[in-house]
Each structure stands twice: as C-alpha cells, then as structure tokens.
Amino acid sequence: MEQTPLKRTIVTVLGRDSVGIIAKVCTYMANNNINILDISQTITGGYFNMMMIVESDEVKKSFPDMSEELKQIGEEIGVRIQAQREEIFQMMHRI
C-alpha cells in the first residue's frame, strides 16, 4: 500500500521531566524519516513541555500508526505524547 506524504504535524509532549525524553522522541522521528521543522521545550516546576512541528516526504507509516506509536513511547517513558495534523491543530486553536 502506497503511503501519502506526511503533512505537517504538531507533536506535543507533556509530563514529569526525566532524562532522555527528547532523545527518545527524536530517535523515533529519525528512524522514520520524519523531519523536525521546529522544536520548543520548557521545564517548569519539574514538568516537561515540548512542541514539535514535523513533516516527511518519505513517511514509512500512516498517520494513525505514527500517532499510536508515539503514544506508546510516551506511556513507556511516563509522559503524554499527542500528534495532530497541522490543519486540525489550527482549527482547534483559532479564536
């Protein structure tokens, strides 16, 4: 089955700070040919918050598969990881 290119996607990561969160998420992206266009992260009061904008012309997986795998990675490392297509994210956050 041919995959369509992964459109821009917003990935958020929230949870208690711990060693290796960024490494784990970025390794997943690299292993799946997903390019990180922008990344922002903060730690406030021991809580980790990261937002990434990613895309890929050579996606290996469908969006639902990628989203579920990121969710599972989050569960393994004790954070919540959510992936949303950019157009849905924009519609949810407009005034």
List residues bridging with 32 in a β-sheet: none
In whole angstroms, give the CA distance from residue 54 to residue 26.
11
Domains and CATH numbers, the chain: 6-92 (3.30.70.260)
pLDDT computed for residue 4 by the predictor: 52
**pLDDT > 60? residue 9:** yes
pLDDT computed for residue 1 by the predictor: 44
Between helix 63-77 and helix 21-31 the angle, nearest 10°, is 150
In whole angstroms, give the CA distance from residue 46 to residue 76.
19
pLDDT computed for residue 59 by the predictor: 74
What is the DSSP code string of 2-27?
PPPPEEEEEEEEEEE--TTHHHHHHH
Structure tokens at 3: 């995959």
pLDDT digits (tens, 9 = 90+) for 38-95: 999 999 999 999 999 999 877 778 889 999 999 999 999 999 999 998 766 556 656 5
**pLDDT > 80? residue 21:** yes
CA 24 from centroid of its chain's CA atoms: 11
**pLDDT > 80? residue 17:** yes
